[in-house]
């Protein structure tokens, strides 16, 4: 799977995208397997269709070493950046930095107070975080409110895409960061503006598992460039006119 942000940049992974891809493949080929191994720039990712229609995804192990996230923020726990202070837009945040193949900066506090997501100035702060010099590959930024140890709310400013309704890799990073900060349990519901995701960071294998929906919203046809036709033809179309 390859994916592009709306600014044209190519991220390593997309949690929403991989659930949608699994749902799409299963819907167009009812005989297809119920679990898929999908190569991404973040490595092998394994989504599985559940009997209740949800998609559970083995998202792999989080990357926690600061330079590999990447961030130049000073590590606070071994090589991991946990609750490191950074002032952005006149406010001080405590960022925990996690890579799920793509980089995330997660904060549960603003000016030493717990975040209330409804009060976050996402369009003001998001671009400043995304392009801050301490994030050399830019970053996705998650602002999180704790409802209980097994339930949080988040809003996200995505690298290359801005405000979005949901971010699967972001929800995973939020739970990993929350566990590292001692704020949430390893199994946690994450409410996003687009709906909830269930995240588990398993102690046994150190992998993060994401469960959520993938739903058909619309279907349509598009004329694609010559390069894209190779993909379509390889998938069985006889000629471009099949799609006209």
Ligand X SMILES: N[C@@H](CCC[C@H](N)C(=O)O)C(=O)O
Binding site for ligand X (CB under 6 A): 5, 11, 14-16, 102, 140, 158-161, 164, 167-170
Q: Is residue 167 among the annotated active site residues?
A: yes
CB of 217 to ligand X, least distance (A): 15
Question: Of 158 and 181, which has the nearer Cβ to ligand X?
Answer: 158
CA 180-184-185 angle, 5° bins? 95
Q: Whose CA is closest to 61, among 191, 234, 206?
A: 206
Q: Whose CA is closest to 94, among 103, 102, 85?
A: 85
Q: Is residue 225 among the annotated active site residues?
A: no
Question: Of 133 and 234, which has the nearer Cβ to ligand X?
Answer: 133
CB of 11 to ligand X, least distance (A): 3
Q: Which residue has the tokens 């946990």?
A: 82
CB of 57 to ligand X, least distance (A): 10
**Both tokens of residue 27?**
């819907």
Q: What is the CA radius of gyration of the chain?
A: 19
> Which of 14, 20, 172, 188 is an active site residue?
14
> Which of 97, 129, 167, 172 is an active site residue?
167
Question: Of 66 and 170, which has the nearer Cβ to ligand X?
Answer: 170
Between the alpha carbon of residue 145 and those of residues 23, 141, 155, the distances in Å are 30, 14, 9
Tell me whether strands 208-212 and 55-58 are parallel, antiparallel or unpaired.
Answer: antiparallel
Is residue 241 packed enough to be buried (19+ CB in 10 Å), middle (13-18) or exposed (0-12)? exposed
CB of 38 to ligand X, least distance (A): 13
CA distance 130 to 133: 9
Question: Of 154 and 161, which has the nearer Cβ to ligand X?
Answer: 161
CA distance 235 to 238: 9
CB of 134 to ligand X, least distance (A): 16
**Residues annotated as catalytic (active site), given as ranges:** 14, 167
């Amino acid at each position: 799977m390859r994916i592009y942000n709306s600014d044209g940049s190519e991220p390593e992974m997309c949690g929403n995208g991989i659930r949608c891809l699994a749902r799409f493949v299963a819907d167009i080929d009812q005989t297809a397997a119920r679990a898929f191994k999908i190569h991404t720039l973040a490595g092998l990712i394994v989504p599985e269709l559940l009997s209740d229609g949800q998609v559970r995804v083995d998202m792999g192990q989080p990357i926690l070493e600061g330079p590999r996230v990447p961030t130049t923020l000073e590590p606070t726990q071994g090589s991991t950046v946990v609750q490191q202070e950074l002032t952005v837009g006149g406010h001080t945040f405590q960022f925990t930095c996690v890579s799920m193949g793509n980089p995330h900066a997660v904060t549960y506090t603003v000016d030493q107070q717990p975040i209330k997501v409804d009060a976050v100035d996402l369009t003001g702060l998001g671009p400043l975080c995304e392009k801050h010099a301490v994030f050399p590959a830019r970053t996705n930024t998650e602002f999180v409110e704790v409802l209980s140890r097994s339930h949080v709310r988040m809003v996200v400013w995505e690298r290359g895409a801005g405000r979005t309704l949901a971010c699967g890799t972001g929800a995973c990073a939020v739970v990993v960061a929350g566990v590292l900060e001692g704020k949430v349990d390893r199994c946690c519901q994450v409410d996003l503006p687009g709906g909830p995701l269930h995240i588990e960071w398993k102690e046994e294998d150190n992998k993060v598992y994401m469960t959520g929906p993938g739903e058909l919203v619309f279907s349509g046809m598009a004329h694609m460039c010559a390069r894209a036709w190779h993909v379509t033809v390889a998938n069985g179309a006889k000629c471009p006119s099949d799609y006209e």
